[in-house]
C-alpha cells in the first residue's frame, strides 16, 4: 500500500510538482529497449540496422537518445524532418516515408540529403527524379510494397492487404521497375513493407517477408533488378493490458532474418541489407500519463464515472482504435481494486472515454490516476480539441525527473490568430 512509483519517482509527487495531465517517460527504459532491439538485430546479424519510427514519439530528448544509441530515423512529414534537422540528426540515417508527400516536403528532403525516400507510387518516384535533377543530386529510393497479407490487429492499424492505401502490389512494382531503372536521378535500392501495428505474433511479418523475397527473386530474374535493401517495417506489439501477450521482440526479428537468410541461400541470392523500424516497442511501455480526478458520478446500473483533467486531447487512441489501457490510482497503490470505474475524459464528446470499466480502489475527487503504457502515439497524437493545452513531458533518468517538454500555455493556443486590430497576413510562412 502506498504511492505508485515509476522508475524511482513517486508519481503523486510528480503530479504535485509538475501538474496534471502529465506525460512521464523513462529515458532509462527507452534506452534499455533500444539496446534490446539492437542486441537481437544490429549487433547479432551483419548488415542489419534499426530505425526508430519517429511518429510514435518525437522530441528533442528522444532525438538525442537515438543519436547516442546510433539508431536511424523514419520521418513522415516536413515537421518531423525539421526537428531532426534542428538537432543535426545524421542525414544519411534518415528515411523519409509517407504516401502523400508534398512538393515542399520532397524538396526539403532533397536539400537536407535524406538517406532514402520510401516511395508509395510510380508518380512519386518520377516526381522525385525530376526534382532531384533540378537539385543536381541522385536520390536513394525504397519502393513500398503492399504484400497483401492482413495481420491480426485493429483495422485502423492494418497497413497491408486489399483495402490499404499504402504501397504497390508486387505485380505493380515489377511493371514499374523498368521505368524506374531508367530514371537518371533516382537510384532504387530495394523494397519496404510494413504490415501494421500492435501485432502479437510474427505470422503476418513472415508471410510478408516471403512475398517480398519472392519479389526480389523475380525482379532479379525478370527485369534484372538487384535489390540490396529490404526494410521490414515495425509493428511489434506491446502489452497494454494483462490480456495482451505479444511474443518477445527476438521472436519477430530472429524469425524474419532466418527466413531471409534461408531463402537467399536456397536461391543463390546475396541476402539484402535488412532494416526494421519499430516505434511502439521502444517507447510504449516507457511512458505513463498522470491525471487528477475532477469528478466522481455514479450512474446507477451503468457505471461509476471518474472524470479526469485530460483524455482525448492527450490520448485519442481509445477513440481512434478502441484502444484499451490499464491504470492504477497512484495515491492508493496496492489497495483492493473492488470497484468497476469508467475513467472519462474531459472533452465534450461521448467517445472521450480513457478506460471503460476498469477495477480500481474507491476513487475520489483529487486522486491521481496513472494510465500505463502511454509512451507511444499519445504525445505524438496530442491535439488541442476544446482548446486544451498539450501536457508537459517529464523525463526520468537515473531516478531524477526533469521537464523534457514544457506544457503548452493558453496564450499559445491563440498564437496563430492575428490580434483583433491587425490585418491578417495573406500568406503564412511556416
Ligand atoms: C511505415 C511504418 N513503419 C514503422 C511504423 C512503426 O510501427 P510500430 O510503432 O507499430 O512499431 C509505422 C507505424 O504505423 C509505419 O507506418
Taking only the tens place, the pLDDT of each residue in 188-229 is 999 999 999 999 999 999 999 999 999 999 999 999 999 999
Pick the catalytic residue from 348, 373, 400, 416. Answer: 348
Task: Report which ligand 1 atom has the smallest distance to the Cα of 277.
Answer: 4
The per-residue pLDDT for range 12-48, each reduced to its tens digit, is 999 999 999 999 999 999 999 999 999 999 999 999 9
* β strands within 78-126, DSSP E: 94-96, 116-119
Nearest CA to ligand 1 atom 16: 194
Cα separation of the two ends of the chain:
51
Among residues 126, 124, 116, 172, which one has the least CA distance to residue 147?
Answer: 172
The pTM of the whole model exceeds 0.85: yes
The answer to whether 234 and 281 have CB atoms below 8 angstroms apart is yes
Judge whether 119 counts as a catalytic residue. Answer: no
Instruction: Give me the residues paired with residue 359 across strands.
Output: 340
CATH 2.40.37.10 domain range(s) in the chain? 285-409
Q: What angle do CA 247, 252, 256 make, to 5 degrees?
A: 155
Q: Ligand 1 center to residue 52 CA distance, Å?
A: 9
Q: What is the 3-state secondary structure (H, E, C) of 309-337?
A: CCCCCCCCHHHHHCCCCCEEEHHHECCCC
Among residues 311, 313, 348, 351, which one has the least CA distance to residue 327?
Answer: 311
Task: Report which ligand 1 atom has the smallest distance to the Cα of 234.
Answer: 11
Position 385 scores a pLDDT of 97
Fold of 27-284: TIM Barrel (3.20.20)
277-295 core/surface letters (b: 16 or more CB in 10 A; e: else): bbbbbbbbbbbbbbbbbee
Q: Ligand 1 center to residue 374 CA distance, Å?
A: 16
Cα 327 to Cα 267, 357, 360, 374, distances in angstroms: 50, 11, 8, 10
Q: Ligand 1 center to residue 227 CA distance, Å?
A: 22
Question: Who's near 10: CB < 8 A, 6+ residues apart?
Answer: 3, 4
- Give me the torsion for CA of 89, 278, 225, 93, rounded to 10°: 10
Position 426 scores a pLDDT of 62
Q: What angle do CA 316, 167, 48 make, to 5 degrees?
A: 90
Position 124 scores a pLDDT of 97
Which helix or strand (DSSP H or E) is residue 249 part of?
Answer: helix 249-267
Q: What is the mean pLDDT of the chain?
A: 96
Question: Who's near 256: CB < 8 A, 6+ residues apart?
Answer: 202, 205, 206, 209, 232, 274, 276
The answer to whether 65 and 27 have CB atoms below 8 angstroms apart is yes
Nearest CA to ligand 1 atom 1: 194
Q: Ligand 1 center to residue 235 CA distance, Å?
A: 6
The answer to whether 381 and 392 have CB atoms below 8 angstroms apart is no
Q: Ligand 1 center to residue 198 CA distance, Å?
A: 9
Nearest CA to ligand 1 atom 10: 235
- Tell me the three state secondary structure of residue 65: helix
- Tell me the three state secondary structure of residue 41: coil
pLDDT bracket for residue 427 (50, 70, 90): low
Question: Who's near 403: CB < 8 A, 6+ residues apart?
Answer: 18, 392, 393, 394, 395
The per-residue pLDDT for range 384-403, each reduced to its tens digit, is 999 999 999 999 999 999 99
Position 150 scores a pLDDT of 86
Task: Report which ligand 1 atom has the smallest distance to the Cα of 144.
Answer: 1
Q: What is the DSSP letter of 28?
A: H
232 grid coordinates:
521490414
152 grid coordinates:
491480426
**Other Cβ atoms closer than 10 A to 272:** 21
Ligand 1 mutation target, pool 49, 56, 246, most atoms within 8 A of CB: 56
Nearest CA to ligand 1 atom 14: 197
The pocket around ligand 1, CB under 6 angstroms, is made up of 53, 55-56, 74, 97, 159, 194, 197-198, 233-236, 277-281, 376
Rg (CA), the chain: 23
Q: Rounded CA gap, 297 and 56, in Å?
A: 34
Q: Rounded CA gap, 68 and 412, in Å?
A: 32
The per-residue pLDDT for range 67-91, each reduced to its tens digit, is 999 999 999 999 999 999 999 999 9
Ramachandran region of residue 345, left (φ > 0), alpha (ψ -120 to 50) or beta? beta
CATH 3.20.20.10 domain range(s) in the chain? 27-284
pLDDT bracket for residue 425 (50, 70, 90): low
Q: Rounded CA gap, 185 and 130, in Å?
A: 7
Q: Ligand 1 center to residue 194 CA distance, Å?
A: 7
- Tell me the three state secondary structure of residue 263: helix
Task: Report which ligand 1 atom has the smallest distance to the Cα of 235.
Answer: 10
Task: Report which ligand 1 atom has the smallest distance to the Cα of 56.
Answer: 9
Share of the chain above pLDDT 90, in %: 93
Position 229 scores a pLDDT of 98
Q: Residue 159 above 90 pLDDT?
A: no
285-409: in CATH 2.40.37.10:
yes
Ligand 1 mutation target, pool 101, 191, 194, most atoms within 8 A of CB: 194
pLDDT bracket for residue 161 (50, 70, 90): confident
Question: Who's near 168: CB < 8 A, 6+ residues apart?
Answer: 120, 121, 122, 143, 144, 145, 146, 176
pLDDT bracket for residue 156 (50, 70, 90): confident
Amino acid at each position: 500500500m502506498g504511492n505508485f512509483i515509476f522508475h524511482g519517482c513517486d508519481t503523486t509527487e510528480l503530479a504535485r510538482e509538475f501538474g496534471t495531465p502529465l506525460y512521464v517517460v523513462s529515458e532509462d527504459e527507452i534506452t534499455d529497449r533500444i539496446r534490446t532491439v539492437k542486441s537481437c538485430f544490429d549487433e547479432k546479424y551483419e548488415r542489419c540496422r534499426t530505425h526508430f519510427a519517429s511518429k510514435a514519439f518525437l522530441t528533442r530528448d528522444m532525438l538525442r537518445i537515438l543519436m547516442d544509441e546510433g539508431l536511424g530515423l523514419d520521418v513522415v512529414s516536413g515537421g518531423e524532418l525539421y526537428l531532426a534537422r534542428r538537432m543535426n540528426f545524421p542525414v544519411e540515417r534518415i528515411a523519409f516515408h509517407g504516401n502523400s508527400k508534398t512538393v515542399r516536403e520532397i524538396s526539403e528532403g532533397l536539400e537536407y540529403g535524406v538517406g532514402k525516400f520510401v516511395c508509395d507510387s510510380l508518380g512519386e518516384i518520377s516526381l522525385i527524379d525530376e526534382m532531384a535533377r533540378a537539385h543536381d543530386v541522385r536520390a536513394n529510393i525504397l519502393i513500398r510494397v503492399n504484400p497483401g497479407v492482413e495481420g491480426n490487429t485493429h483495422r485502423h492499424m492494418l497497413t497491408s492487404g486489399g483495402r490499404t492505401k499504402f504501397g504497390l502490389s508486387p505485380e505493380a512494382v515489377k511493371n514499374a521497375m523498368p521505368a524506374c531503372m531508367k530514371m537518371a536521378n533516382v537510384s532504387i535500392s530495394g523494397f519496404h513493407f510494413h504490415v501494421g501495428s500492435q501485432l502479437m505474433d510474427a505470422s503476418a511479418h513472415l508471410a510478408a517477408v516471403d512475398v517480398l523475397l519472392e519479389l526480389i527473386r523475380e525482379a532479379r530474374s525478370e527485369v534484372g533488378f538487384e535489390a540490396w535493401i529490404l526494410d521490414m517495417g515495425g509493428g511489434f506489439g506491446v502489452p497494454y493490458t494483462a490480456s495482451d501477450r505479444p511474443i518477445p521482440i527476438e521472436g519477430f526479428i530472429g524469425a524474419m532474418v532466418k527466413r531471409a537468410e534461408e531463402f537467399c541461400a536456397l536461391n543463390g541470392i546475396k541476402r539484402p541489407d535488412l532494416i526494421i523500424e519499430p516505434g511502439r516497442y521502444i517507447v510504449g511501455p516507457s511512458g505513463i500519463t498522470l491525471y487528477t480526478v475532477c469528478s466522481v458520478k455514479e450512474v446507477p446500473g451503468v457505471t461509476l464515472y471518474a472524470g479526469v483533467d485530460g483524455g482525448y486531447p492527450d490520448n485519442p487512441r481509445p477513440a481512434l482504435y478502441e484502444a484499451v489501457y490499464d491504470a492504477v490510482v497512484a495515491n492508493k497503490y496496492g489497495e483492493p481494486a473492488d470497484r468497476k470505474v469508467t475513467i472519462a475524459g474531459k472533452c465534450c464528446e461521448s467517445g472521450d472515454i480513457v478506460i471503460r470499466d476498469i477495477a480500481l480502489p474507491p476513487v475520489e475527487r483529487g486522486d491521481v490516476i496513472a494510465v500505463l503504457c502511454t509512451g507511444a502515439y499519445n504525445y505524438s497524437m496530442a491535439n488541442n480539441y476544446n482548446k486544451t493545452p498539450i501536457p508537459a513531458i517529464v523525463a526520468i533518468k537515473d531516478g531524477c525527473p526533469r521537464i523534457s517538454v514544457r506544457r503548452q500555455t493558453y496564450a499559445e493556443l491563440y498564437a496563430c490568430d492575428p490580434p483583433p486590430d491587425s490585418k491578417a497576413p495573406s500568406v503564412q510562412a511556416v
